[in-house]
Structure 1
């Protein structure tokens, strides 16, 4: 991986986005990035000579898929620093994405997997997994936000990754094939439509239901019998005011096989800190739940200790 090329690409993309923000009369960097991606793909239609020139320089760099992804990620970081982004518009950082990739590789046996991501957001998690997995991933992301779906799809077009993105409210009934893996950096908040929510076992009768509870229940409907669900969910998932409803549903429909807490300093606001929860549909031989506090994702020895502990748990429980 050429980090100098990544930096050059980032600066070229950013300069084009800044020009496009003025032309589009927007202060939203995501909107400008979508337009930049369209300009890059359809270069013959571009009248702005500087944008066209920068995109030719981008082409000349001949970036790898991972170099493209890193360049776009720097744009996401720029957006987080310079603009107010709602929590659900922020991307899943690499430090967490690569832990999820490790878990996906360790907990699945087939060389080819069907993956369904609920709330695919900017698409950064999808790109990280598809580009870096040792397996062949048939990946579909579902996202309700039209800005994010356009952003993720445009980035996939530029990088050339084979990822499908569908704009749908994942809490509403969908016709989808069952997947080997369900993955989600769950959006946090209340779901406003009580008529839809009341169809679910986790539905609250006294207030709006947590959207992340509804998405967890919905996700299991699309999971193969021997599949796994990897969720990034609030630290207080099992202790929050509506947690009894979730735990009752879990008791009947799924096994919680792993809980991996993450360092709070990964999250801009500690109130939005998350933990990795891994579920399987009910299985005959229920393993002892793997519980591990990951205190530092930058220290190599901490990651090594985590991996060794996880592999020992797998061996002890015949996973």
Structure 2
């Protein structure tokens, strides 16, 4: 069998998902996860299958699982998930864009460039796994990874996605704010944005609200900082209004006490239809013996990822900052 390329894999996942969606009365997103699992299992040929499964296996028979490359799998899943999310009614169903995930992996490779041993990475809101698996696919290091996701459908997709990319990732169907987490070296999370409804859970956090609900993105920042080792790093995708809300002063005080703010990089405005949905990378280092305090934080507006020359120039400036300020 010839190597399965992106277009063929995408077509098979899409056709298989449409088939299951119709036959089983499930959503397209739920069907994607089932298709991914079916590909991974490679269906035992001696087992009896019902008509729905037989048709699915026929659709998937064009895929050579052994030849699948990690990035081919990730991108094919990404495209089908994006298609599914257009028809999803849940407002929290969204995915970290590819260019953003790749830039996150670039930043993480910069901060881990002096590491020799394995590192542990945690994603507090893993979603479909696109951000985390992008980081894993582009890291030269051995990485132990884990992720938490409260939405069962998204987690099911992340599970199938990671399996097909042959990543060993611990995935938990759980609200990451409700438990104490094992320490990690790096936290990377595209933060959900809005109010957190569980006031009892929020009350255990320094960044709880004095009145009403706390912001879930504030609580996750605190949980991320709690769960990294001293000297470890946190890379968050945060809303551009992070330091403008009525709870921002408390957040800023907490960050100064617990971390060194290394960088705030605003994503291109052209990525967002509505500017109030704009996001930035916030890079922090938890205070510890090995913490390096730069003379000044890296603050920049990133150019459009389509403008290659401008982006190359920006990355050169970022590389220089890492070399001069952090010796990386």
TM above 0.5 = yes
CA contact (8 A) 2:4 2:67 kept: no
Aligned match of 2:317: 309
Q: Which residue, 218, 221, 229 being the options, matches 1:213?
A: 218
CA contact (8 A) 2:4 2:64 kept: no
Check if 1:12 corresponds to 2:19.
no
Deviation of 1:42 after TM superposition, in Å, equals 5.0
Deviation of 1:175 after TM superposition, in Å, equals 4.0
**CA RMSD across the alignment:** 2.0
Q: Which residue, 121, 130, 134 being the options, matches 2:136?
A: 130
SS in 2 for 1:187: coil
Check if 1:294 corresponds to 2:293.
no
Deviation per residue, 1:166-204 (Å, 9 max, x gap)? 12211113241x211111100111111112212211111
What is the TM-score with the length of structure 1 in the denominator? 0.92
User: Residues of 2 paired with 1:310 and 1:207: CA distance?
Assistant: 40
SS in 1 for 2:110: helix
User: Residues of 2 paired with 1:285 and 1:13: CA distance?
Assistant: 46
CA contact (8 A) 1:204 1:245 kept: no
CA contact (8 A) 2:32 2:81 kept: no
CA contact (8 A) 1:261 1:275 kept: yes
- Any stretches of 5+ residues in structure 1 without a counterpart? none
User: Residues of 2 paired with 1:250 and 1:63: CA distance?
Assistant: 42
User: Residues of 2 paired with 1:24 and 1:272: CA distance?
Assistant: 35
User: Residues of 2 paired with 1:107 and 1:87: CA distance?
Assistant: 33
User: Taking structure 1 as reference, are residues 175 and 133 closer, same or farther at Cα in structure 2, changes over 3 Å only?
Assistant: closer
CA contact (8 A) 1:88 1:121 kept: no
Aligned match of 1:157: 163
User: Residues of 2 paired with 1:259 and 1:140: CA distance?
Assistant: 25
Aligned match of 2:105: 101
User: Residues of 2 paired with 1:128 and 1:158: CA distance?
Assistant: 13
User: Residues of 1 paired with 2:326 and 2:163: CA distance?
Assistant: 40
User: Residues of 2 paired with 1:3 and 1:76: CA distance?
Assistant: 23
Deviation of 1:285 after TM superposition, in Å, equals 4.8
Deviation of 1:96 after TM superposition, in Å, equals 0.3
Check if 1:166 corresponds to 2:165.
no
What is the TM-score with the length of structure 2 in the denominator? 0.90
CA contact (8 A) 2:233 2:283 kept: yes
Deviation of 1:213 after TM superposition, in Å, equals 0.3
